[in-house]
Structure formats: C-alpha cells, structure tokens
Chain A
Amino acid sequence: MSTRREFRLRAFAAKVRGFLRGHKRDGEFDDEIQEHLQLLAEKFMAQGMSREEAAAAARRQFGNVTLLQEDRRALQRFSFFEALWQDLRFSLRIIVKSPGFTATAVLTLALGIGANTTIFSWIHSVLLNPLPGAGDPHRIVELESLAPSGEWVPTSYLDFRDFRDHLNLVESMSVAKPMALTVGNDVHVERVWGETVSGNFFDVLRVQAEIGRFFSGVERDDAQNAHPVAVISHSFWHSHYNESASAIGAILRVNRTPYTVIGVAPKQFHGSLAGLSFDLWVPATMYGQLTATGTWMLEDRKARMFRVLARLARGVTLEQARSELASLAGFMAKADADTNEGMSATLLPVWKSHYGIQGSLLAPLTILFGASGVVLLIVCANIANLLLVRAAGRRKEFSIRVALGASPMRLVRQLSTEVLMLAVLGSVAGLLIADWLGGSLRWLLPLTEAPRLQSGGLDSGVLLFTAALAVAIAALASIGPALHATRDNVNETLKEGGRSGTSSTQSNRLRSLLVTSEVALAVTSLIGAGLFVKSFYRVKSIHPGFDPNQVAVAQFNLSAANFDAQQADAFCRHLRERLERQPGVTAVTYADYVPLSLGEGSWEDLQVEGHVSGPSENMKIYRNLVAPGYFTLMKIPLIEGRDFTMQDDDPHPPVMIVTREFVRRFIPRGGVLNRKVHGWGQWFTIVGVVEDSKIHRLTENTRPYFYVPIFYVPIRQIYRPEMGLAFYVRTAGSVSEAMQSIRRESQAVDAMVPASGVMSLNEWIAGSLFGQRIAASLLSVLAAIAFVLASIGLYGVVAYTVAQRTQEFGIRLSLGAQPRDVLGLIVRQGLAFALAGTAVGAGLTLLLGRALGNFLVNMSAADPLIFTATAVFVIVLALAAASIPARRAMRVDPMVALRYE
C-alpha cells in the first residue's frame, strides 16, 4: 500500500479543488482564526490583563497570522504559479508607473541586444548556417584540389568525375560554379547570377522542389551540351512569373540559347555559396554551350574551374573521407602525371571554404562580435545601476516586506521578474532594430561584381540567441540589486526616518564599481576603434603602383552574348575606336582583369629559360591579358624594353612583358629582353619589363607577375571570352561622363552586350578594402554607442550623488564654503571615476594588444598617440558630464538644501 503516493495524490487533489473553487473558502479560515484569537484574549482578560494587553498576548501566543495564511495557501493552491502571476502583475504595474525609468532601461537594452543580434545574425547566415534550405547541412563538405605547392585550386571536370566515381566514403558529389548569365529575349536582356551544377546537385543538398522537378533521368549524365533545362529560384519565380504554375515548361533564353524551366527551388534556398543569392541553376554539362567554347573545356584535365560539394556517407567522419580522397588523388597524380603531377585534394567544412565571402568576413565579424559583447556589458552595467537606484528608493518597501515574513528568495524572485520583463521589452525592441539593421550588411559590401547578398534574416537560431541574451542580461543585472536588497538590515532601514532616497554604502560602492567598469569598457572600445580606423587609413594610403584617378572601368560578359574569340576581338577593337574619339578621353585600353578585384584572376604554369625551378617552387604565376596602351593608361612605368603593339598578333612570334619581381625571382643574372618563357604550350619572348604594382590586395607582398597581349589568335587560344573583359578609359574631363560614354558606345557597337560594373577605378579599388572598412566603421559606431552609454552612466552616478548629498552641501555652504569648493568636490569624484576607468581600460587594451595586432596593418596595437588621445578625450568628456550636476549643486540655496529631504 503506497501511502506516500496516496498522501501526495490527496494533497494534489486538494490544490486542484482549491484552484477551481477560487477564493471562497478563504473567508472561513480567517473567521476561525479570528474566533480563536478572540477566545484567547478573553482567557487572558479572565486572568487579569487589560483588554490591550490581552489582545497583544493572544497574538503573541498564536503566532504570525500572515505566515499561517501563506501556509494554508500553500496547501490549497499551486502557490508557485500564483506567486509568479502576482510577480508579473506587480512588475507590470511598476513598469507602467515609472515611464522615465522604463524608457531609459528599454532603450539601453534595445541598443545592446539589437547590436548583438544583428551581428550574430550575420555570423549565423555567413558562418553557422551557410546553406539555408539544405537538408542535414552538416554532412556537406567542400572538395578542393591542391596544387603541388599546397595552394588550393578549383577542380577540373575530369578530376571531378574520377573522384565521383571512385570515392566510397562520400555518398554523392556535385560541381557548382557561379556564373553571370544573360537572360532574356531579343528585346530585353538582363544579367542573372546562376550556378552551373551537376544533375544531382539538389540531391547532395537535400532540397525539395517547390513546384515542378529537379534534374532527373538522362539530364544527369555527362553528355555535353545536351540538356538545356533550368531550375529557377523562388524570387525569380516571383518576379518573372508571378508565382504561377505556368512557369514550368516556359522557355528562358540563357546566353541566347533557349532553356526549359523545369522547376522552382524553395523559398529559403539561395544556392550553395554562403551569403550570396543565386537565381538560376543549369547543368554543368551545358558549360561549353554557355561559354561558346565547344566541348573541350570539360574534357581537358588542366581546365580547372569547378567548385565541388560532397555529402559524406552515413557514419563517416570528415577525416576518414579526407584520407580516402588524399590517397585517390595521389593515385591520380601518378596516373595522369602529365596534368596532375604533385597535386592532391582535400575536404573542408563549408564554413572553411575559400569560395564565397566567409573568408573575407570571418575576421571582421569576429572582431565586431567582441565589440558588441563589450557594448552589452556596458548595457548590463547601466541597467544594474538604474536598478540599484530604484532599489535604493524601495528599501523601505523591502524592509517592510521582510518584517512581514517574506523570504529573501521571494524578493529576489520578484526583482528578477521585473528585470526579465524589462529584458523582454528590450529584446522585442532590439529585434526590431536588428531586423532593420540586418539588411544593411549589403551596404557595407562592395558594389562590384557579385550576386545579390542574402539578407541576414531572423530565423529560429537568431531568435533563440536573443532570448538567451535577454535571460542572461536579466540574471546579470539583477544580481547586484537582489543581493543588496536581501542583505539589508531591516531595523536600520526602518529606523532611518523620512529619507526615502538614500542608499547604503554598499550600494554606493557597487555603483562606483559599475561606473568605473563602464568607463573602462568604453575606453577599450574607443581605443580599439581608433586603432582600426588608423589601420584602415594606413591601408588606403598604400600606393597601388598605378594611377587610379580619372579612370573609368566597365565589365563585359562576352561569352554571355555567345561571342566566340574572333567576335570578341572585333567587339573590342570597335569599342576602343569609338571610345578614343570621345571628347576628353586621353587613353583607352582593355584587359581581362582589373587589379585589386575580389576575384583572383587566372594563372599559368611557366618555365623560364635559364631558370631551374625548385622541387616545390610554385611556377603558377598570375597574369593579365592586356591590350597595347595598358601600361601608359595605368601609368605603370616601363623599365626596359617596350609595350605591346598591334603588330604583336599572329603571325608574329608570341611576346610577353614581365614585372620587376618576376625578373628578380627567375632571371637574377643575364639579360632579360629576348629571353624565352614557356606557357600555354608555346615559347614567348620577353619584350619588356614593367614596375611592380598591386595585384590582389593592397597589403600583399610583391609577387611575380606577367602580361600577355589579349589579341585573338586562331591557334593560340589564350584569351577566352568567358574570362571576362574589362575596359579602361582615362579622361581629362569628368569620370562620370566617361562612364556614360562607355555605356553608350558599347550599346552602339552591340546592343546585346550589356556593360556592367561601370564605375571609376577608385571605386573599384575601394571594394577591395571592404574588410578593413567594415571593421573600422562598425567599430566606430559601436565605440560611440559604448561611450555614450558610459557617459550616461557616469552622469547618472554623479547626479545621484549630488542629490544624495544636497543636505551636506547645504551645511557646507552655510558654514562658509565657497560654491567652487562644492564644485571641486563633485568634479573630483567624477574625475576619479574617469581616471580609474581610463587606466583600467587602457590596461585591458594593452592586454588584448597581441590579439588585435593580427588584424592591424603596419602598426602595433600599443600606439601611443591613440591611447593618449583617447585618454584625454574621455577625461575631458567625463569632466563635462560631471560638471553639469555640479554646477546645479553650486547654485543651490543653502537654506533650501538644509531642509531637503
């Protein structure tokens, strides 16, 4: 017979009955108690006590009635929930009754939570959830081929097929290559970013079609240029077909070839590149047709341009699959030694991939996350301060409640509920801010050639994070006031007559500590921001080696217009002639790469006459294909020899121009001109040497580089239209007019070739700085917010102290102190906080110095100028913040002050 269980069951039943019955039974219990008290009093009176004495004795003997009622309620109610409900209603009342406090607290919280959530949502969409819409994304990895030097390179189609057909530990693989495509009919073309993918791409990613279907059946084979079918994105379906089912089966002209739309991807799927949005997916086997290059590109093992995604087989770890791949690649390196010698391959988790924007955003986002954490700490400190002030005003209330028998836990619980409610309100406001800011990430990214950026949406992961943040803030901020409230000496508080706004020394000490930490954190953020701003300007002022001023550039996607190499050449010559005739234009040239682009351009494997390359020396040198006049336009000095001329095309022998570093590395002795270099299966003659200039990043070390003429040559096939084409126009007049001219004249030459990325070369280069720019600008914003919050905190503490000590000041003044003595007192206190905070903040930054130093360019984190400037700035502003209440105190009439309560 389980008596314990029966016991509990009956107790529970009683609570349910009590809950259902409501408050009716209370009256009876209270009546009983009153009766008992009455009888007791009568008994004592019978023993000779007076009426009052008897009543008091009765109460003493009976015990605490309130506690008794609570015990009864505990038996008859689900007291936990009732208490909670009570706390909630009480908190709500308090929040409504003090709008000023609530507004300040909620606003402060909103700033902190908003900033953190925004940055976290960016981190989430770029790093943590890079493949939205994919099923089981953690099993997806990226395959990267490795050159003999260890550098990663894209994978060729033949290598991909071998990997695909022979790897066991990988369940499925697909290629994916982003491409800018021209979509439209004869009247209207637009540029659409898509991915060329394998037939099983959507299987690898475990994505279901919204409507229609994905590639199936024969569409998945390796036959080239055989299946013109396409899958469109949800937003493309929305904007071009109004989400109607008639999209399925519709014909879409892609690069002038008709494709059939077979399906629509789901709304949350944006493609396989983290952070970027794509609108179209076509089979990779159509690559030859899309680029008008026939079929040889997918049949040449040396044509490496694909990115490869793979899904790990069940129960297989990344390391296991990686070693299988490495041994397979090693085998292929020997079997196809003519193309793959020394090469290998590896598997990487998607967030470590070298494609997409993660690489460049990882560092800035981490720093930003740290900075916003700092802002959040300051927010917590501010809120805690606000709560302490309010708690000080409620000391009487708490003491009475304790005297009535409330347990400390109950008080703490109620305080926590209040703070939690504020945190919830702040979170909601913060989420709104984050939602608004989240889309703004795209404004920070460069305007250059890139697919649309996904907006950092607020999905469940982010919301969870915000909720956790709110709870953490509530916990942190309520510790101080709660401890303070429970340790308070009830007697002392109740005895301190009248003064409702006082606080104990403990409370003051806590607030001082909080304010000093706030100032310290603000100083750290300011110094950090200062360092990054300086670093950004350092980088910006690095000379690129060419003159980007007064130059307009434009990109043309000639293969999207289905030009072959000969047509491309004709287009270039015509456009160049027309542009040279424009007023103000001093030089026109074209090339297949613009320096300091986000993409890396192409390289070629070289052999230099007279140079024996070391065993692991990387002879894959980057190059630019340029037209004559490139160096003159870019103002890159010619050191030796000559520029290309129009006579350097076929049938004349192939020529090459190299850079100073190239010579230093490969031709240290002997003559440079007329030396032979082998590449693309033929021997080139060096005809000129130019000065080094920046190729990929302003902060790079000098690397060897070379240039080859961009002409069409039937046999040589060096320049291919799908490589992209950039036109440069230098003008003596306005650059925007030059930009207009480019658009106009290119339309005139061929209306089917839209100009894209038309901007000044300076703007183009600015894009390459975006990592540093983001860090500098956002850190500045965060530092400003941190500083404002800390100033408010400092002002609050000083103002509060002044109010507290008004009586004291009145006494001093009436005893003969000068107003400026009082001012001095107050300002000194503010100064103390500022100095202490600055010292701690500076020390903190020095500690972080090494970590920060990694992100800074050409400077150390212990920059004396910035430290000093920040210290002076903070102290001056702190003094200003402290002087406002100080001046008010000075003007107080001593008589009023003395009577102040």
Chain B
Amino acid sequence: MKSKKSEVLQGTLDLMILKTLHALGPLHGFGIARRIEQVSRDVLQLNEGTVYTSLLRLQQQAWIAAEWGTSENNRKAKFYSITKRGEKHLQVEAENWERISDVIGRVLKLEAER
C-alpha cells in the first residue's frame, strides 16, 4: 500500500523525467538519473531505483517510448524518448503547476502583507 505522500513524489518524478526527455531528447535510465541529480542540486533525496518504476509507468501511459540502442561507452542500453501524448501531458501538468504555485505565492504574500 503506497501512501499518498509517495504517490505525490512519484507523480513529481514522472514530470521531471518527462521534462528531462523533452529538454534533452532521448536518454537512457542512468543518464536521466544523473540529470535529475544535477538539476535538483541534491535537494531531492530519493532512491535512484524509483526512476525505473516511473519509466515503466510512463511507458504504460504511452507518454514515453523505449528503444534498445548503444550507449556512449558501447554498452547495450534502453533509450527513452517522449511521445506526442507525453508532450501534451507535460504541457497540461506544467500549466497546472504554474497556476497552483501562482495562487500559493499570492496567498503567502497576503500573509506577509499583514
């Protein structure tokens, strides 16, 4: 039984992966993990393995597609790329986030003005 908290975290991770693939193009799992580590500047402490669960879910929802290919050091690796559906989903979710953070920001500023 996953708790609500972990579900939210998973959802966030899904978005981060989609964004990463959108920005950087096709990547394999290790690359995605490194990029996220970089971007979040070690603030986000999660087990790297959870990336793969996200990738599986994203595949099931057809937001990303997978293909076997060769990595930089000539190893066999699975490359993931974002799909059109994925782009759409990303856009929708990003807008949601913007709206929410906007509202929260305004509410918090309200407090400060008191």
Q: A residues touching B (Cβ–Cβ < 8 Å)?
A: 7, 10-11, 13-14, 28-29, 32-33, 35-36, 39-40, 61-65, 68, 71-72, 75-76, 407, 409
A64 is contacted by which of B47, B56, B60, B62 (Cβ under 8 Å)?
A: B47
Interface of A is mostly: helix
- Across-interface contacts of A11 in B (CB, < 8 A): 60-61
B57 within 8 A of A: yes
- Inter-chain CA distance A97–B74, complex, in Å, is 50
Taking CB atoms, residues of chain A closer than 8 Å to B75 are: 35
Neighbouring A residues of B62 by C-beta, 8 Å: 10
Determine whether the beta carbon of B77 is less than 8 Å from that of A35.
yes
Number of A-B contacts (CB under 8 A): 59
Quick one: which of B53, B56, B60, B78 has the most chain A CB within 10 A?
B60
Whether the Cβ atoms of A72 and B52 lie closer than 8 Å is yes
B48 at the interface (CB under 8 A from A): yes
Q: Which of A32, A35, A68, A75 contacts B60 (CB 8 A)?
A: A75
Complex Cα gap A407–B1 (Å): 9
Residue of A whose beta carbon sits closest to that of B33 = A36
Q: Report if A29-B53 is in contact (Cβ < 8 Å); known contacts: A14-B60, A39-B30.
A: no
- In the complex formed, the residue of B with least CB distance to A76 is B56
* Contact with A63, one of B29, B47, B60, B76 (Cβ below 8 angstroms): B47
Contact A65 B49 (CB under 8 A): yes
Residue with the greatest number of chain A CB neighbours at <10 A, chosen from B1, B53, B75, B77 = B53
A63 touches B49 (CB 8 A): yes
Chain B: minimal CB distance from A427 (Å): 32
> Chain A nearest CB: distance from B18 CB in Å?
15
With beta carbons under 8 angstroms apart, the residue of A14, A29, A40, A409 that contacts B48 is: A40
Shortest 4 CB-CB contacts between residues of A and residues of B: A63-B47, A63-B49, A14-B60, A68-B49
Closest residue of chain B to A17 (Cβ to Cβ) is B60
B77: A residues at CB distance < 8 A: 32, 35
Which residues of A sit under 8 angstroms from B49, Cβ to Cβ?
33, 36, 62-65, 68
B64-84 to A contact mask, C-beta < 8 Å, 1/0? 000000000001111000000
**For the complex, is B12 an interface residue (Cβ under 8 Å from A)?**
no
Assess whether B101 is interfacial by the CB under 8 Å rule: no
Residues from chain A with a CB closer than 8 A to the CB of B29 are: 32, 35-36
Q: Which residue of B lies closest to A61 (CB)?
A: B48
Q: How far is the CB of B36 from chain A (nearest CB, A)?
A: 12
Is B50's CB within 8 Å of the partner chain A? yes
Given contacts A32-B78, A62-B47, A63-B47, contact A71 B30 (CB under 8 A): no
Contacts of A76 in B (CB 8 A): 56
In the complex formed, the residue of B with least CB distance to A59 is: B49
Q: Do A35 and B52 touch across chains, with their CB atoms under 8 A apart? A: no
Q: Which residues of B contact A63 (CB under 8 A)?
A: 46-50
Bound complex: CA of A117 vs CA of B21, how far in Å? 66
What interface size band does chain B fall in? Answer: 20 to 34
Q: Given A71-B53, A72-B53, A75-B53, are A36 and B61 neighbors across the interface (CB < 8 Å)?
A: no
Contact A68 B57 (CB under 8 A): no
Most interface-central of B29, B49, B56, B78 (chain A CB within 10 A): B49
Residues of B within 8 Å of A29, CB to CB, are: 52, 56
**A75 CA / B75 CA spacing, docked (Å):** 27
Minimal beta-carbon separation of B100 from chain A (angstroms): 17
In the complex, what's the smallest C-beta–C-beta distance from B47 to chain A, in angstroms? 3
State the CA gap A40–B77 with chains docked (Å).
14
Contacts of B56 in A (CB 8 A): 29, 72, 75-76
Q: CA of A28 to CA of B53 in the docked complex: distance in angstroms?
A: 14
Other-chain contact of A36, B30, B53, B57, B60 (Cβ < 8 Å): B30
Q: Once bound together, how far apart are the Cα atoms of A68 and B77, in whole Å?
A: 19
Give B34's nearest chain A residue, CB to CB.
A43
Contact yes or no, B61 A61, CB < 8 A? no
**CB atoms of A68 and B30 under 8 A apart:** no
Given A7-B61, A71-B53, A72-B53, does the pair A36, B47 have CB atoms closer than 8 Å? no
Nearest neighbor of A71 in chain B, beta-carbon distance: B53
Chain B residues contacting A72 (CB-CB under 8 Å) are: 52-53, 56
Complex Cα spacing A677 to B30, Å: 115
The residues of B that contact A33 with a CB separation of less than 8 Å are 49, 52
In the complex, the chain B residue whose C-beta lies closest to that of A28 is B78
Interchain CA distance A7-B85 in the complex, whole Å: 12
Name A62's contact: one of B1, B48, B57, B61 (CB within 8 Å).
Answer: B48
- Nearest CB in chain A: distance from B78 CB, A: 6
Closest B-chain residue to A38, C-beta based?
B75
A106 CA / B98 CA spacing, docked (Å): 64
Known: A32-B78, A63-B47, A76-B56; 16 extra A-B contacts, CB below 8 A, are A7-B61, A29-B52, A29-B56, A32-B77, A33-B49, A40-B48, A62-B47, A63-B49, A64-B47, A64-B49, A68-B49, A68-B52, A68-B53, A75-B56, A407-B1, A409-B1
B84–chain A nearest beta-carbon distance, Å: 15
Give the complex CA separation of A75 and B59 in angstroms: 11
Q: What's the minimum C-beta distance from A347 to chain B, rounded to whole angstroms?
A: 56
| A691–chain B nearest beta-carbon distance, Å | 81
A11 to B60, CA, bound (A): 6
In chain A, what residue has the closest Cβ to B59?
A14
Q: Specify which of A10, A13, A32, A64 is in contact with B52 (CB 8 Å cutoff).
A: A32
A32 to chain B, nearest CB (A): 6
